[in-house]
Amino acid sequence: MSDRRPLRYEDEGNVHLDFHGATNTTIEFIVERFGVEALHAIFERVGKDVYADLRRHLLDGDADELVRHWHHYFGRENADFEITVEADGTIVLTVRRCPAYEHARQLAGAVSPHFCDQTTVTNNAMADGTPFSITTEITGEGSCRQIVRRRRR
């Protein structure tokens, strides 16, 4: 994995964790007003349109850009995480403490039961039609495993 070229999604400057609180509130609003299906449709668009560059790399058979993205953002927000690559090429992101989840909890007192849908649905949409699948396992409040595997042909 090369770090020579800049990431497409590489924000610099202050980390505004309050964004995660606003996301939590927005998720609840959309679910109450329009339903879970509408929320999932939005997250699918995020995976395919907002993260189009990451998706393009996956379509090209390259998961390294997604790994670099994870390193950048989870590192930037001081998450408790680890990324491993298994012998068969499977990539596993283990998030033991998600700063987005924790900050949303601090701001709102309670995190939407659909908060982690943004990760699950966005990952599925990014991987749709690519040589990869991304499985997201929610392992607890503010913790998960995201597993990237090559699809069998």
Q: Which tens digits make up the pLDDT trace of 58-85?
A: 999 999 999 999 999 899 889 999 999 9
Q: CATH code at 123?
A: 3.30.1380
What is the model's pLDDT at position 5?
A: 53
Asked if the structure places residue 9 within a domain, the reply is no
Asked if the structure places residue 5 within a domain, the reply is no
Asked if the structure places residue 8 within a domain, the reply is no
Amino acid at 134: I
Asked if the structure places residue 24 within a domain, the reply is yes
Domain count across the chain: 1
Asked if the structure places residue 6 within a domain, the reply is no
Q: Which tens digits make up the pLDDT trace of 112-132?
A: 999 999 999 999 999 999 999
Question: What is the rounded distance in angstroms from the CA atom of residue 146 to the CA atom of residue 14?
Answer: 26
What is the model's pLDDT at position 108?
A: 87
What is the model's pLDDT at position 21?
A: 86
Domain of residue 54, residue span: 18-150
- Which pTM value belongs to this model? 0.87
Asked if the structure places residue 75 within a domain, the reply is yes
Asked if the structure places residue 57 within a domain, the reply is yes
Kindly indicate the confidence band of residue 18, based on its pLDDT and cuts at 50, 70 and 90: confident
Asked if the structure places residue 137 within a domain, the reply is yes
